Chain A
Amino acid sequence: MFELLIQYIREGRIKLDKSKFDNVLATYHDPCNYARKAEKLFGHGYFDEPRWILDQCMENWVDLYPAKREQFCCGGGGGTMTTGYNAERILYGKKKMDQIKAAGAKMLVVPCHSCHGQINNIKKEYEMEDLEVKYLWELVADCLKV
């Protein structure tokens, strides 16, 4: 997924408008499966690739703290969106939401369906309805010059 997007951009098959989100401070969340777990299972965690793609889409984004291997869990992993244990799931999203607030970000970019669903689902619980949650490939599609 990351490699394909990078290939399209590097080979000039898609052109991106970097000014589209000039007025929005964005940040990036590392999903466990693409990051820590991929590194452990396959010997490569996708830490730098999504950040390179973000750099092609916008000037204005900041990393969360902590990030990459030390990233906080979104709280929606392991199927917890579907177990019915929702109070627990919302509670462990708190750390994530505090982290996003601390970064001052108005947009969170994620390359994972579970993280995307979880953050969108809990943002009302933490008075963060204005936070825009975007798939990484959605950001790329939004910036397409067509």
Chain B
Amino acid sequence: MEEIQQTIEMDRLNHGRFESWPFSQDFCVTCGLCSSSCPASGIDGFDPRKLVRMVSLGLEDEVIEARWPWICTMCAKCEHVCPMEINIPGMVRSIRGLREREKVPGILHKGLDAALKTGNNLSLPKEDFIFILEDVGEEIADEPGFEGFKVPIDKEGANILTTIHNKLVNTHTDDLKHWWKIFYAAKEDWTVPSDNWEGTNWGLFTGDDAAMKTMTGRIVDNMEKLKIRNLLWPE
């Protein structure tokens, strides 16, 4: 970030580079409320007010290369306090989307890529997924008060379709039980799809609208295929 503080070339002061965005960064009054409200302010020099100015000044390459948009949690406190109602989290997400996919930090793009190819972030095969669900279902059935509990998989015409967060069929299988116990007690008619059950949608974090649409479309396809009108998508 240091070089750009030294020189800004005039030919780069091109607002037009960002004009395809529906955002209002040019209205920024540089009051600094965003910086004061931000939980990440000061970390690695991060300052949302500066980021907004950089976008306003057309410093596209710099903001795309910067770590700043990735250490922001997009919590929207800045937007909440902004007197000009600038959509700063939306701006951050759009900047993330402009980075080359191979340069997306951590496992974000890799997980999303796996989900697009296999239906879930873990590339968990269908038979393993079903085995885990049934295994956890049997544990519930062993508890007093939940006799005869079974996990309804791919049940056509159920009232509710639920998605699953991948960590619940990975390291946190006990956390599958809470909703299932509530369904049992409420005598709900519910089901889990055996394909495309992934409830997370990491395109939200990587700024990848096309991937988000694909992931969401698969959930809608499941609802249509199984003739289900209600969706519980707590991820």
Chain A interfacial positions (CB closer than 8 Å to B):
1, 4-5, 8, 13-15, 32, 36-37, 40, 69-70, 72-80, 82-85, 88, 91-92, 95-96, 111, 113, 117, 135, 137-138, 140-142, 144, 146
Q: Does A40 lie within 8 Å of B76, measured CB to CB?
A: yes
Nearest-neighbor residue (CB-CB) of B79 within chain A = A40
Q: A5 to B77, alpha carbons, bound, how many Å? A: 28
Q: A137 to B71, alpha carbons, bound, how many Å? A: 29
Nearest-neighbor residue (CB-CB) of A135 within chain B = B178
The reply to whether the CB of B97 lies closer than 8 angstroms to some CB of chain A is no
Chain B residues whose CB sits within 8 angstroms of the CB of A140 once the complex forms: 178, 182
| Residue of B71, B92, B146 touching A146 (CB-CB under 8 A) | B146
Q: Does B105 lie within 8 Å of A32, measured CB to CB?
A: no
Find residues 73-119 in chain B having any chain A CB closer than 8 Å to their own CB: 73-77, 79-80, 89, 92, 105-108, 111
Binds A, one of B18-26, B27-35, B38-46, B127-135: B38-46
Q: A73 to B189, alpha carbons, bound, how many Å? A: 36
> Given A1-B234, A13-B186, A146-B146, A137–B73 Cβ distance below 8 Å?
no
Q: Does B80 lie within 8 Å of A73, measured CB to CB?
A: no
Find residues 142-196 in chain B having any chain A CB closer than 8 Å to their own CB: 144-146, 160, 165, 167, 175, 177-179, 181-182, 184-188
The reply to whether the CB of B120 lies closer than 8 angstroms to some CB of chain A is no
A122: shortest Cβ distance to chain B, in Å? 13
Q: Does A73 lie within 8 Å of B105, measured CB to CB?
A: no
Q: Does A69 lie within 8 Å of B80, measured CB to CB?
A: yes
Chain B interfacial positions (CB closer than 8 Å to A):
39-40, 43-44, 67, 70-77, 79-80, 89, 92, 105-108, 111, 144-146, 160, 165, 167, 175, 177-179, 181-182, 184-188, 200, 202, 204-206, 232-235
| Residue of A73, A82, A138, A146 touching B73 (CB-CB under 8 A) | A73
Q: Does B74 lie within 8 Å of A77, measured CB to CB?
A: yes
> Given A73-B75, A73-B77, A78-B74, A91–B43 Cβ distance below 8 Å?
yes
Q: Does A88 lie within 8 Å of B108, measured CB to CB?
A: no
Q: A85 to B43, alpha carbons, bound, how many Å? A: 11
Nearest-neighbor residue (CB-CB) of A2 within chain B = B234
> Given A8-B186, A137-B178, A141-B182, A36–B71 Cβ distance below 8 Å?
no
Q: A48 to B182, alpha carbons, bound, how many Å? A: 21
Q: A1 to B165, alpha carbons, bound, how many Å? A: 14
